[in-house]
Amino acid sequence: MKNNNQNKPQRAVIYCRVSSAKQAREGHGLESQESRCREYAAAQGYQVEAVFPDDVSGGGDFMKRPGMVALLSYLDAQKSGQEVDEGYVVIFDDLKRFARDTEFHLKLRKAFQARDARVECLNFKFEDTPEGKFIETILAAQGALEREQNGRQVSQKMRARMKNGYWVFQAPIGYRYEKSPAHGKLLVRNEPVASIVAEALEGYACGRLDSQAEVKRFLESQPAFPKNAFGTVRQQEVTRLLVRPIYAGFLCHEDWGIDWVQGHHEPLISLSTFEKIQERRKRGANAPARKNISEDFPLRGFVLCGDCNTPLTAGWSTSKTSKKHPYYFCRVSNCASYGKSIRRDDIEGEFATMLKSLRPTKRLFELAHAMFRQAWAQRRQQAANLLTDLRKEQAKIEKQIENLLDRIADAEDTAILKAYETRISRLQKDKHALTEERQKMAGPAHTFEDMFELAIGFLRNPWKLWDSGQLKLQRTVLRLAFSERITYSRETGLRTPKTTLPFKVLGDFMEQNAMMVEPKGVEPSTS
């Protein structure tokens, strides 16, 4: 109905909505709706003051739509400032744009009534009669039905595609979507982020990054890795990286009953690496690096107090002459060494002497070379035997899968079908793990000489790496050379450390050689 007051035309606002931001970017839904609504307003003699667009669905709840919230706020502001209770007309293109939910449709109608605003639709006429309200309610219920049916259909299609090995949600960090003629939208590596994620996961699995905190700092040190507004990586994001099977090439969705379905995308890590990560997360880190470890104190957090067996901390102490002196000390309040400083030169000097002693002689290296070659041959034979066992185990799993598939064909109970499907998914996962293990054992990637030369550089002189002064290399030496933290006593100094297997074996050779060497000459040695 046209406004009879020609001096003061009826004020109006326009509301437009599409279901997604993609529709707003790629289509012309918002523009076409606004154009039709403006033509309607001009024909009715209305004065359009503002347009409120939305590109979100809101699931039926109009308070989840920014545009609708802004529209209601606009009406509140105008009503509080006007002298005459005149009200507005809210124009929209289609009844489905209003609210595709019966409950929220009625609530929104009341919200406009409370603001003295009436609604007008281009393809539906609102009437305040019992018949008009009934028809309006039926149409709102129909819109709600269509919305729920569309949601169910989309969910079913997504679930079916995911069961076929395709990820259907937002691409995880390290991946992006790319259209493929054979697969449609397929996850592909998004470099250089994919390589950063792979390095972080591999580093945590092998212990080079010994805690989630170290993984977090590693990711934050990479300029290409996405960060939040504060330039950091949230701890929750680190945990998500470590626990998502998608990086190992598998898809899981508990609500949809999808369990370890092999994906068509390229994995960033192997399944065995993923399993190592989960094992490490369960047992925790052995020697986590702390954020405040610096190159000034490379042994901080690794050397234990000899009295309370807790890691020593470190810091700089300022003397009366304003000079700074480096110290290690214990922070445990009930410890006998609490607050008693230990000069950095004392601890690190003894450590340097001990580390230099881990350097075997040329003769011992020849013995170690022969020993390692023999061990290499033994492991090759063990690998061949294990490969045969893996083939048998894989054939056994394939037989179990075939039997379960036959049972599924005869089963009618839904619970039993789901149990069979879950069991098959687990067996498929085990089968993939065996296949991956067989591929690794198909043949060594390097010869014995290559592998021995890689290790010999470190075994020959670990002090050389430590003396580089690079904190990462020094922490690597600690992890590769020692199986446990080192204990330091203020009275007796460094206690005998527990070294890793290669140094332990070479150390045993040293002791045996020392026992076999006879004093010079025939007579007993004298002073």
Domains observed in the chain:
11-156 (3.40.50.1390), 175-283 (3.90.1750.20), 303-359+461-516 (no CATH), 362-456 (no CATH)
Torsion-angle region of 170 (φ positive above 0: left; ψ -120 to 50: alpha; else: beta): beta
Whether residue 372 contacts residue 451, with contact meaning beta carbons closer than 8 Å, is answered with no
> How many CB atoms within 10 Å of residue 492?
9
The rounded mean pLDDT for the chain is 78
| Model confidence band, residue 314 (pLDDT cutoffs 50, 70, 90) | confident
Q: What's the confidence (pLDDT) of residue 450?
A: 63
* 315-316-319 Cα angle (round to 5): 145
Given a cut of 80, is residue 173 above it in pLDDT? yes
Q: What's the confidence (pLDDT) of residue 242?
A: 92
**Helix ranges restricted to H, 362-490:** 362-410, 414-441, 448-460, 462-466, 471-481
Torsion-angle region of 329 (φ positive above 0: left; ψ -120 to 50: alpha; else: beta): beta
Task: Average the pLDDT over each of 21-30, 125-134, 233-242, 305-314 and give the range with the smallest value.
Answer: 21-30
Q: What kind and span of H or E run contains 71?
A: helix 66-81
Q: What's the confidence (pLDDT) of residue 364?
A: 62
Given a cut of 50, is residue 202 above it in pLDDT? yes
Q: What's the confidence (pLDDT) of residue 374?
A: 76
| Model confidence band, residue 246 (pLDDT cutoffs 50, 70, 90) | very high
Task: Average the pLDDT over each of 243-247, 259-263, 345-349, 514-518 and give the range with the smallest value.
Answer: 514-518
DSSP code for 288:
P
State percent of the chain over pLDDT 90.
12
Written as six digits, the tokens of 454 are: 């890689």
* Strands lying side by side in the sheet with 342-343: 313-318, 324-329, 342-343
One-letter amino acid for residue 10 of the chain: Q
Helix axes 66-81, 102-114, angle to 10 degrees: 20
Closest CA to 325 of 353, 297, 305, 306: 297
Whether residue 369 contacts residue 510, with contact meaning beta carbons closer than 8 Å, is answered with no
Cα Rg of the chain (Å, integer): 36
Distance separating alpha carbons of residues 9 and 348, to the nearest angstrom: 87
Distance separating alpha carbons of residues 229 and 283, to the nearest angstrom: 33
Provide the pairing of β-strand 342-343 with 11-17: unpaired
**Neighbouring-strand partners of residue 250:** 262
**Helix ranges restricted to H, 92-223:** 102-114, 130-163, 193-206, 212-220
Closest CA to 250 of 275, 225, 226: 275
CB burial of residue 1 (10 Å; 0-12, 13-18, 19+): exposed
Whether residue 490 contacts residue 340, with contact meaning beta carbons closer than 8 Å, is answered with yes
Written as six digits, the tokens of 402 are: 């075939």
Distance separating alpha carbons of residues 71 and 54, to the nearest angstrom: 11
**What would the mean pLDDT of 233-243 be, rounded to a whole number?**
91
Hey, CA dihedral for 223, 227, 230, 233, is it positive or negative? negative
Q: What's the confidence (pLDDT) of residue 525?
A: 41
Given a cut of 90, is residue 340 above it in pLDDT? no
Tokens 């489905």, residue located: 96
Cβ burial 302-319 (10 Å sphere, 16+ → b, else e): bbbbbbbeebbbbbeeee
| pTM higher than 0.85 | no
Whether residue 197 contacts residue 268, with contact meaning beta carbons closer than 8 Å, is answered with yes
Q: What's the confidence (pLDDT) of residue 171?
A: 92
Whether residue 497 contacts residue 482, with contact meaning beta carbons closer than 8 Å, is answered with yes
**What would the mean pLDDT of 260-288 be, rounded to a whole number?**
81
**What would the mean pLDDT of 32-54 be, rounded to a whole number?**
90
Whether residue 11 contacts residue 46, with contact meaning beta carbons closer than 8 Å, is answered with yes
Whether residue 291 contacts residue 320, with contact meaning beta carbons closer than 8 Å, is answered with no
One-letter amino acid for residue 229 of the chain: A
Q: Write out pLDDT tens, residues 378-422.
A: 777 777 777 777 778 878 888 888 887 777 777 777 777 777 777
**What would the mean pLDDT of 35-64 be, rounded to a whole number?**
82
Given a cut of 50, is residue 287 above it in pLDDT? no
Max distance between CA atoms of the chain, in angstroms, equals 133
User: Cα-flanking dihedrals φ and ψ of residue 56, to 5°?
Assistant: -130, 150
Given a cut of 70, is residue 298 above it in pLDDT? yes
Give the up-direction half-sphere exposure of residue 314: CA atoms within 13 A in the CB hemisphere: 26
